[in-house]
Structure 1
């Protein structure tokens, strides 16, 4: 940033922009120095954008891997009004009741994805419009017999367990949301290194080759090396 432009901002300007609690999180790492705090803020934005890009590569790979397995048994499930994918239940009554509610949430998420896509969206358009959370909920424990065992377990090359995959996807989903909302990602609480390792691990379960390409193309390491407060990373 041009120093003269940055110098035109007062502490009050920054607080009105970021809010005092958010601004204070950056200033706390810079001994209250406003200029360095802003530099840290912009660096964090670049880092978050790069990390978000990596998670998006993972999201595309995951939803396509899951869609291939779902479509093998329920063709065009995203647009087929007659598909039984989200009407099935199995097991004892308590499990079935939970599954009904999970199915209802999934059907609502699909309806939300179709909204704004026109009168006759394609299967691919709807799949691409679904949220990460939609896919995360497909591997919940009470859905194991309906989704994981017969279909989604086949989306991975090395036979990982359902709890392992569900935990990975859930953590990445929370991390992705943090990135999307411009939250600080440099703190130990955020676990930046751990979450990026989760992305690499999950991609490796889908395709080791894809995981290697995404890792090699990531801009995160180069941006991390330019942190204005080196002790943070």
Structure 2
């Protein structure tokens, strides 16, 4: 108990309270410490799927923008005016910040946040971007009207953004449906490139770590 008390002091009672609450409803062998350790392993194992998903989806969106507006799409006035601009986290604000630092389009693509790419997958861009371009850049997405597919992609990106943010802030993810998170990641990658998804499936550890969850089988 002394070792756990030391851990609790180092990490804070507030941080461990979630794990203690969950452990109190589990079998005696499941402790707050074991849950915390598993949560860290799961977060680490998810970094590879998240990495590939974000790079693949932003490259697909950037390719669609280049098809519609040319390689200098970040400076296309018509496109910029269409971007959401209602908050400090808006796509237009994000683009203005990044284009203020560099004039290299690939560098801009690499530095734009995930919220920028998610905000592209909204209905305001159906006519100008996704109806003409979606099947060309996400050719393996389910066959449906582009607006239907675009809406599903927007929802999957939102799910992945939330997961990514929790991991980045070292928050608990053990009560999430991580199987559904991995399925969303798989759908997004497959829509762009089934070969990349197959590569991920051969090398990722997230599925194995998930199967070893201390909460497996809990009602």
TM-score by length of 2: 0.80
1:146-225 matches, cutoff 5 A: 146-158=128-140, 159-160=143-144, 161-187=149-175, 190-225=176-211
Distance 1:30 1:162 in 2: 40
Q: Which runs of 5+ in 1 are unaligned?
A: 1-5, 89-98
Change (3 A) 1:180 1:223: same
Counterpart in the other structure of 1:136: 118
Q: Which runs of 5+ in 2 are unaligned?
A: none
Distance 1:9 1:112 in 2: 45
- 1:219 offset after TM fit, Å? 1.0
Counterpart in the other structure of 1:62: 57
Select 1:46's aligned residue among 33, 41, 44: 41
Coordinate RMSD, CA, aligned: 3.1
Select 2:78's aligned residue among 81, 84, 88: 84
Change (3 A) 1:135 1:70: same
TM-score by length of 1: 0.76
**Cα pair 1:36 1:228 within 8 Å, conserved:** no
Aligned residues: 209
Distance 1:66 1:114 in 2: 17
Change (3 A) 1:43 1:177: same
Which structure is larger by alpha-carbon Rg, 1 or 2? 1
- 1:101 offset after TM fit, Å? 3.8
**Cα pair 2:22 2:32 within 8 Å, conserved:** yes
